[in-house]
């Protein structure tokens, strides 16, 4: 491989422009060599943001010139993830696929098997594992600060009552909807924090006028350990509840508000700039019980660690930062959630 790994980024919408390109550029050892987008406005944006990067119109140009790249990042609409990832594997190009890896567990499992058979590294962009509040929660559990975990409450709530006309996330044919979007993060975090799941109960609704995909979901997971996770995602949360509420037999950890990295990246701030990913003291969560609960410093959010892990994996043979089989487990739960909601029953995994 080259001294710097040459990255081809497919897609320059919100995900490509804000959640991938700046993080790739922030990691010493990765260089954004090409961006694929056919949208004229986005092509102009790439030229402004990364003047040294080539701008290509079609992913086929990447596969045809495979030797010019060391990594492909797929940041396109959900429904295109599987065909593009398959093409990357066939071209023998290591691939990062934005979540969700696929629209169903069956599709994801087949893709992972194809990559393993071809010995092509594959990973899934689960950046929320490096949110500051989530990192803090993992540390508190490891330190025994709340005792034995009993229940996790986790939310990704929004107030977006109007349907975004023409947006692919509002289109079922593009694998849109909040379950595959925010639900993927919620379930992945619950699995990382509390381990395998044995049963799922779900409520999945389409609430907004004119919406064609679900926009309000609740999942109740029972983990193999007996711990419960209650997970919410909604586009109609007019007032927000805690982002995390983790209850244990010796106390609790509660935190409000979103990790600041997304807002910072959307505003054009760069990873590595002063205080990037930090939460001010007024926004720290609290740990403890009753009157003894006290503020607890939120660890810095570190989304760049994902791409640092990708670099290490491709240069040293270490595992990818997110095992693609984890994505299969997430989608298995989301598939079960759809069955649960349609039958109004608890579904065993």
Nearest CA to 114 out of 88, 79, 80 is that of 88
Question: Is 327 within a domain?
Answer: no
Cβ neighbours, 10 Å, residue 229: 24
Contact criterion met (CB below 8 Å) for 163 and 208: yes
Write out pLDDT tens, residues 208-246: 999 999 999 999 999 999 999 999 999 999 999 999 999
Residues 6 or more apart whose Cβ sits within 8 Å of residue 9: 16, 20, 21, 24, 32, 34, 35, 36, 72, 73, 75
Nearest to 207 by CA among 161, 255, 154: 161
Number of helices (H), then strands (E), belonging to the chain: the values are: 11, 15
Rg (alpha carbons) of the chain, rounded to whole number: 20
- At 49-107, the pLDDT tens digits run 999 999 999 999 999 999 999 999 999 999 999 999 999 999 999 999 999 999 999 99
Whether residues 274 and 236 share a domain: the answer is yes
Sheet of strand 122-125: strand arrangement: 54-56, 30-36, 5-10, 71-74, 95-98, 122-125
Q: What is the DSSP letter of 68?
A: G
- φ, ψ at 187 (rounded to 5°): -70, -40
Q: What confidence tens digit (pLDDT) does each residue in 296-329 have? A: 999 999 999 999 999 999 999 999 999 999 999 9
The CATH number assigned to the domain holding 137 equals: 3.30.360.10
Q: What angle do CA 66, 52, 124 make, to 5 degrees?
A: 50
Q: What is the pLDDT of residue 3?
A: 81
Residue 286, strand partner residues: 254, 295
Residue 114: give its domain's CATH number.
Answer: 3.40.50.720
Q: Is the pLDDT of residue 282 over 90?
A: yes
Give me the pLDDT at residue 166, please.
86
Query: Are 121 and 215 in the same domain?
Result: no
Are both 153 and 205 inside the same structural domain? yes
Task: Give residue 33's domain range.
Answer: 5-127+305-319
d(CA 41, CA 38): 9
The pLDDT of 152-169, averaged and rounded, is: 94
Q: For the chain, what is the domain count?
A: 2
Structure tokens at 23: 């993080």
Closest to 231 measured CA to CA, from 176, 157, 145 = 157
Q: Note whether 224 and 265 are same-domain residues.
A: yes
Residue 324 in any domain: the answer is: no
Q: What is the pLDDT of residue 2?
A: 59
Task: Please indicate, yes or no, if residue 46 is contained in any of the structural domains.
Answer: yes
Mean per-residue pLDDT, 133-154: 98
Do 133 and 53 belong together in one domain?
no
Tens of pLDDT along 6-62? 999 999 999 999 999 999 999 999 999 999 999 999 999 999 999 999 999 999 999
How far apart CA 346 and CA 171 sit, in angstroms, is: 27
Answer whether residue 170 shows pLDDT above 70.
yes
Please tell me whether residues 25 and 52 are part of one structural domain: yes
Lowest mean pLDDT among 26-35, 160-169, 190-199: 160-169
E-strand ranges in the chain read 5-10, 30-36, 54-56, 71-74, 95-98, 122-125, 149-157, 197-205, 216-223, 228-234, 244-248, 251-255, 285-288, 294-296, 347-348
User: Is position 292 within any domain?
Assistant: yes
> Does one domain contain both 141 and 88?
no
Question: Which residues pair with residue 229 across a beta bridge?
Answer: 152, 221
Is residue 219 domain-shared with residue 99, that is, in the same domain? no
Answer for the pair 218, 232: CB distance below 8 angstroms, yes or no: yes
Predicted pLDDT of residue 14: 95
Quick check: 1 pLDDT over 80? Answer: no
Asked whether residue 325 is domain-assigned, the answer is no
Same-domain status, 229 and 168: yes
Residue 248 has pLDDT above 80, yes or no: yes
Q: Are 246 and 252 in contact, with CB atoms under 8 Å apart?
A: yes
**What CA–CA distance (Å, rounded) separates 136 from 151?**
16
User: What span, in angstroms and rounded, lies between the C-alpha atoms of 83 and 66?
Assistant: 17
31 part of a folded domain: yes
Residue 328 lies in a domain: no
- Residue 23 has a pLDDT of 98
Whether residue 245 sits in one domain with residue 137: yes
- How confident is residue 173, by pLDDT bands cut at 50, 70 and 90? confident
192 and 229 part of one domain: yes
pTM attached to this predicted model? 0.96
Residues 57 and 140 placed together within one structural domain of the fold:
no
Residue 278 lies in a domain: yes
């Amino acid at each position: 491989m080259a001294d710097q790994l040459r990255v081809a980024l497919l897609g320059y919408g919100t995900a490509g422009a804000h959640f991938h390109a700046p993080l790739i550029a922030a990691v010493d050892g990765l260089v954004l060599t090409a961006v694929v987008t056919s949208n004229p406005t986005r092509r102009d944006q790439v030229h402004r943001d990364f003047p040294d990067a080539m701008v290509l119109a079609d992913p086929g140009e990447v596969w045809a010139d495979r030797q010019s790249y060391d990594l492909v990042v797929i940041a396109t609409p959900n429904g295109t993830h599987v065909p593009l990832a398959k093409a990357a594997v066939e071209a023998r190009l290591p691939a990062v696929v934005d979540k969700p890896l696929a629209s169903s567990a069956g599709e994801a499992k087949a893709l992972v098997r194809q990559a393993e058979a071809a010995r092509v590294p594959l990973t899934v962009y689960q950046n929320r594992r490096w949110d500051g509040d989530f990192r803090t929660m993992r540390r508190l559990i490891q330190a025994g600060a709340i005792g034995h975990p009993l229940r996790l409450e986790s939310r990704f709530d929004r107030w977006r009552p109007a349907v975004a006309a023409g947006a692919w996330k509002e289109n079922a044919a593009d694998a849109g909807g909040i379950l595959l979007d925010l639900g993927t993060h919620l379930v992945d975090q619950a699995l990382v924090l509390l381990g395998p799941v044995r049963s799922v109960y779900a409520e999945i609704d389409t609430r907004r006028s004119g919406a064609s995909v679900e926009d309000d979901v609740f999942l109740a997971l029972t983990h193999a350990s007996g711990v419960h996770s209650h997970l919410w995602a909604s586009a109609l949360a007019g007032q927000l509840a805690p982002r995390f509420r983790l209850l244990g037999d010796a106390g609790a950890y509660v935190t409000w508000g979103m990790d600041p990295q997304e807002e910072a990246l959307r505003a054009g701030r760069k990873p590595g700039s002063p205080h990037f990913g930090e939460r001010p003291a007024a926004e720290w969560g609290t740990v403890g019980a009753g009157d003894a609960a006290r503020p607890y410093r939120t660890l810095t959010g570190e989304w760049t660690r994902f791409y640092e892990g990708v670099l290490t994996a491709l240069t040293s043979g270490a595992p990818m930062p997110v095992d693609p089989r984890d994505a299969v487990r997430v989608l298995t739960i989301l598939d079960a959630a759809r069955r649960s909601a349609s039958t109004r029953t608890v579904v065993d995994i």
